[in-house]
Structure 1
Amino acid sequence: MFKSLHLIVFSLSLIGTINSLLDHIPREENVLVLTQNNFNDAIKDQLMLVEFYAPWCGHCKSLAPEYAKAAAKLAEDNSNILLAKVDATKETDLAEKYEVRGYPTLKFFKMGKSMEYGGGRTSEEIVRWLLKKTGPAATELTTVEDAKKFQESQEVVVIAYFTSKDGDLSKIYLEVAGENDEIPFGIIYEKSVADSLQILDDKVALFKKFDEKRNDFVEELKADLLKKFIHSSSLPLVVEFSHETAQKIFGGDIKTHNLLFMKKSASDYETNLETYRNVAKDFKGKVLFVVLDVDDDEHEKIMEFFGLKKEEVPSMRLIRLEEEMTKFKPEKDDFSADYIKSFVNGVLDGTIKQHLLSQDLPEDWDKLPVKVLVSSNFDQVAFDKEKNVLVEFYAPWCGHCKQLAPIYDQLAEKYKDSSDIIVAKMDGTANELEHTKINSFPTIKLYKRETNEAIEYNGERTLEGLSKFLESGGDYGRAAEEVKFEKFNLIHFKNFFLPRNPTKKKSNLKLNIKKMNYNYFFVFVLNFIVNKFSFFKWEIFEVIFY
């Protein structure tokens, strides 16, 4: 008895000591202000989310009121979770220790150990993520009142009823719940409580405050099937593309996306959106319907990728993000429900062929030593069985392509009178080929006469090297099969960087990025970096593929 009482007194005194330590740390709107001097004491034995910020950072300024609201909400609920912030431009040692490479960076500390924050940027999302990380995987709902309150607590919630607490089905459900940081999960073991929500024995229901309001999981309860159901059902029928929704769009199993480009300011925006939403119901779980506001300048690069101009909207494009990415374009801009359905069904059943970008063929395409190729004349020129045809696939913005240009002109001048050699080039960003995928710039290929075999060049980009490549029939400088850009691409930040310590002197950085075709996900990644780190501009990017 005495021993137990002693432990209680000791525990209370320890809590009092911790609280007194925190009392000496200044606060701004319920957020602790940490420095090198108080950081270790603050995070010790605590549950704490820490924001590393820069005073000049626009995204940090946008986060500040939401962060303060989250701190206030937790304090109001008497939560033991605390929010704190560190000025990383002053506390450079802390920034380096915790590998702060951009602003804001948020890290969650649990008893002194850190992990990356993976939630959203609104106060509700911050609180929800923290409660999920510090509480049970699913909240047990024991009364009808609890169940109703939980159902209405968030935009999306998942609730299940199981007849057995220790059964395999409830274990699978709790496993899925524990892996999901975004959605609250409830669990019921009382039939009367389940009946109040009309949830059947050993079944799962997803409740939401939009679209159909409710979706019931009717398949066999397996983890992978339940995850897929939750992902597809928790998304709106039509998802508006943004930084906040991109992870949900690209993170799931649905790899076919139907994109509608519209001006949000247009008078027919709501009408077209409602039609689009109604059609989306028929393709739920198979095709993701996405809308992009073209008034948003951040979407300009995505429009360029699809070959769209603002004056051409509203317009629709479908993209399949499989191993080989393919794009599809409807024959006309018809936004009736029947036409949208027929277009999507045509892509799914294979009757509609992929859309390939192509420039118009210039009238003087063959007047200069370097012949100009576009999609429409590529096969005719490159697959001429009587000639060896060298083709450079370039991008107008590529620095290495610009460096190569005078050398390539000299090469063409050297062989302009040859009867069996053609030197040509094609803008790989404005022209696409069904049989050839270009993942890097510049890419140089020799199409051999008679066989039309395509041999990629991987030698020095010099007049001598390219001449040897041509004259050897593609043997000199030939790229090995296993290194044909299958492993990685590089993005080179020419003038800026993501340093281990953002306050140190700027230098160049090369980042390895998993191979992904230049698709709208790739555009999003670059867009995200540019907008996350406000001192970046699009012009600093140069995509280099060696």
Structure 2
Amino acid sequence: MFLKLLFLCALIVTSGRSALIAEEEGVLVLKKSNFDEALRAHPNLLVEFYAPWCGHCKALAPEYARAAGVLKAERSGFRLGKVDASAETELAKEHGVEGYPTIKLFRGGGKKSSPREYSYGRRAEDILEWIRRRSGLSVDALTEVVQAERMIADNEVAVVGFFRDARSDRAAAFAEAAEAADDDVAFGMTSEDALYSRFQMTEDGVVLFKKFDEGRSAFDGRGELSSAAALLAFVKANRFPLVVTLNDGPTDAPPKALREFKDHVLLFASGTAPDFQDKVAAFRKAAEVFRGRILFVLMDVDVETNQHIMEFMGLEKERCPTLRLLNLEVEAKVTQFKPDDDETIITTESIVHFCTLYVQGKLEPHFKSQEVPDDWDKNPVRVLVGKNFKEVALDPTKSVFVKMYAPWCGYCKRLAPVWEQLGERYKDRQDVVVAKMDVTANAAEHVHVHSFPALKLFPAGDGGKVIDYTGERTLEGFVRFLESGGREEEEEEEEDARDEL
């Protein structure tokens, strides 16, 4: 009788405008079972996909809750929610979550609305500022010359649409592009003769004003002025310098620009070399060929902060000048490409040739690797590097459980004794291998690491299948996981779902 009454109450609750969604400190607790309902009930919903063990997520939690409390108290129309992506794996996969935390803004009250990824700061103030900017109009109406000049002067990048008819399809496409564009870019629109005259516009068009390179870029796709996608592509291609410079001071483009472009070609060269400026000039000229498709980045190897990037890529200063091309198509995964010969002379022609081979799909990925230690298999925990990873981890006759770690990571250091115990436990098993790999010095095609330590099982006979371990980091938990072939967590998820029903 109690169950029937409980079921009837559930029907009454869900038959109204929205189902009752649990909250923690003002943050909506979202799951696959209530996610769509939350989107319908809250047309402006910022959602954090997190993992309980993620250090970045733990640091963000109090700031996120503080921002949620402010928004709820203001009745602003915006709410904050969170999804435990380690438990709601299907929901996280559906929304393209690869790393933690991933934060997305859902607008429009339904799944069909395209979520906008949040990439600002991690303080409550940053979150609130970003949301408040999104609640306003995306395009400023420019009616006076001084107003337009002020907007251009106050912004690194400003885009102005000149449309005689503010209700035209062209103006609507411009507004749509502004809504979807990055918040670092200011958008304005005008139909005033004085502004046409001031900026030498004789017909409708779009101009991007910037404080670098040539200072001004005009949209030349006149026939595509009614295409928001074409306008967005124009803004993306021109909102950054031809060559982005990374150094100790402010960069020529914000760091998130490096994530907006999926393909980056990097020139590593010494700023004190006598031919440095010649190399930069050749690099810049090649950048013109691939503008909007590949981001060109200059790395001065004499700058101390760039040493970390070189270390990450397995590159030594003595091998410079040289080129590297990075692809970030998959979040939290960097695929690296290099010329066949690191000694290639850096000229415009050689750079264009290298990038052309990449665009044509004729380059094989390059994976950094240490040398295979002579004693890599002499201890209970095997040592993997890039050069022996495929042979060992993808052996179809064995289940291989790998700890992906960074030497400096505190969590990795605390886990080390338990991992040694696990290796000792399985040292005599022929079908199970316990291993570790330093991913700051090694990479492999089947490895995507977004936090440390990453624990991954490559089960026997599954042809490269990877199962991420997200359970308790204890010897008993690891043993249960291995003995079940990685299926234990899936069974627990099914049991939790049955309990909810």
- Range class of TM-score, shorter chain: 0.5 to 0.7
TM-score, structure 2 as length reference: 0.59
Q: Please give the per-residue CA displacement for 1:109-142, whole angstroms capped at 9, x wherever unaligned.
A: xxxxx97389xxxxxxxxxx9xxx9999254467
Q: Please give the per-residue CA displacement for 1:292-351, whole angstroms capped at 9, x wherever unaligned.
A: 334333333333322233344333222222235422222224311111112112222211
Structure 2: which 5+ runs fail to align? 1-68, 72-120, 495-501
Deviation for aligned residue 1:240? 1.8
Q: Indicate the residue corresponding to 1:280 in structure 2.
A: 287
Alpha-carbon distance in structure 2 between the residues aligned to 1:282 and 1:413:
56
**Cα gap change, 1:271/1:392 in structure 2, threshold over 3 Å: closer, same or farther?**
same
TM-score, structure 1 as length reference: 0.55
Q: Indicate the residue corresponding to 2:356 in structure 1.
A: 345
1:285 aligned counterpart, secondary structure: coil
Q: Does 1:235 align with 2:240?
A: yes
Q: Please give the per-residue CA displacement for 1:419-463, whole angstroms capped at 9, x wherever unaligned.
A: 444332222332222123233333334444445655444444344
Q: Does 1:389 align with 2:388?
A: no
1:396 aligned counterpart, secondary structure: coil
Alpha-carbon distance in structure 2 between the residues aligned to 1:366 and 1:106:
48
Contact 2:241–2:252 under 8 Å retained in 1? no
Output aligned runs, 1:371-520, within 5 Å.
Answer: 371-451=382-462, 454-470=466-482, 472-474=483-485, 477-478=488-489
Percent identical pairs in the alignment equals: 39
Match of 1:116 among 124, 129, 135: 129
Match of 2:370 among 353, 359, 369: 359
Match of 2:253 among 242, 245, 268: 245
1:246 aligned counterpart, secondary structure: coil
Output aligned runs, 1:69-88, within 5 Å.
Answer: none
Contact 1:370–1:425 under 8 Å retained in 2? yes
Match of 2:326 among 319, 324, 346: 319
Q: Find the structure with the greater CA-based Rg.
A: 1
Q: Does 1:306 align with 2:301?
A: no
Match of 2:140 among 109, 115, 137: 137
**Cα gap change, 1:440/1:209 in structure 2, threshold over 3 Å: closer, same or farther?**
closer
Deviation for aligned residue 1:288? 1.4
**Cα gap change, 1:146/1:350 in structure 2, threshold over 3 Å: closer, same or farther?**
same
Contact 2:301–2:307 under 8 Å retained in 1? yes
Q: Does 1:330 align with 2:339?
A: yes
Root-mean-square deviation (CA), in Å? 4.5
Amino acid at match of 2:378: K
**Cα gap change, 1:183/1:445 in structure 2, threshold over 3 Å: closer, same or farther?**
closer
Alpha-carbon distance in structure 1 between the residues aligned to 2:236 and 2:216:
14
**Cα gap change, 1:405/1:168 in structure 2, threshold over 3 Å: closer, same or farther?**
closer
Alpha-carbon distance in structure 1 between the residues aligned to 2:398 and 2:70:
60
Amino acid at match of 2:218: D
Contact 1:391–1:424 under 8 Å retained in 2? yes
2:206 aligned counterpart, secondary structure: strand
**Cα gap change, 1:479/1:306 in structure 2, threshold over 3 Å: closer, same or farther?**
farther
Deviation for aligned residue 1:238? 0.8
Q: Please give the per-residue CA displacement for 1:492-524, whole angstroms capped at 9, x wherever unaligned.
A: xxxxxxxxxxxxxxxxxxxxxxxxxxxxxxxxx
2:254 aligned counterpart, secondary structure: helix
**Cα gap change, 1:464/1:273 in structure 2, threshold over 3 Å: closer, same or farther?**
same
Amino acid at match of 1:302: I
Deviation for aligned residue 1:175? 7.0
Deviation for aligned residue 1:397? 1.9
Q: How many residues align?
A: 363
RCO comparison, higher one (Cα < 8 Å, 6+): 1
Amino acid at match of 1:116: E
Amino acid at match of 1:206: L
Alpha-carbon distance in structure 2 between the residues aligned to 1:440 and 1:430:
15
Q: Does 1:215 align with 2:230?
A: no
Deviation for aligned residue 1:274? 0.9
Amino acid at match of 1:301: H
Amino acid at match of 1:328: F
Deviation for aligned residue 1:188? 5.4
Output aligned runs, 1:129-208, within 5 Å.
Answer: 137-140=140-143, 158-164=159-165, 167-170=168-171, 172-173=173-174, 182-183=185-186, 185=188, 187=190, 189-190=192-193, 194=196, 199-207=201-209
Contact 1:356–1:432 under 8 Å retained in 2? yes
Contact 1:373–1:426 under 8 Å retained in 2? yes
**Cα gap change, 1:467/1:368 in structure 2, threshold over 3 Å: closer, same or farther?**
same
Contact 2:245–2:251 under 8 Å retained in 1? no
Amino acid at match of 1:336: T
Amino acid at match of 1:273: V
Contact 2:244–2:251 under 8 Å retained in 1? no
Which stretch shows the higher mean deviation, 391-400 or 161-170?
161-170
Deviation for aligned residue 1:353? 1.8
Alpha-carbon distance in structure 1 between the residues aligned to 2:171 and 2:255:
28
Alpha-carbon distance in structure 2 between the residues aligned to 1:146 and 1:294:
43
Contact 1:387–1:421 under 8 Å retained in 2? yes
Deviation for aligned residue 1:245? 1.9
Q: Please give the per-residue CA displacement for 1:177-223, whole angstroms capped at 9, x wherever unaligned.
A: 79866557574543x97478653421223355654454321332234
Deviation for aligned residue 1:267? 2.7
Alpha-carbon distance in structure 2 between the residues aligned to 1:146 and 1:451:
63
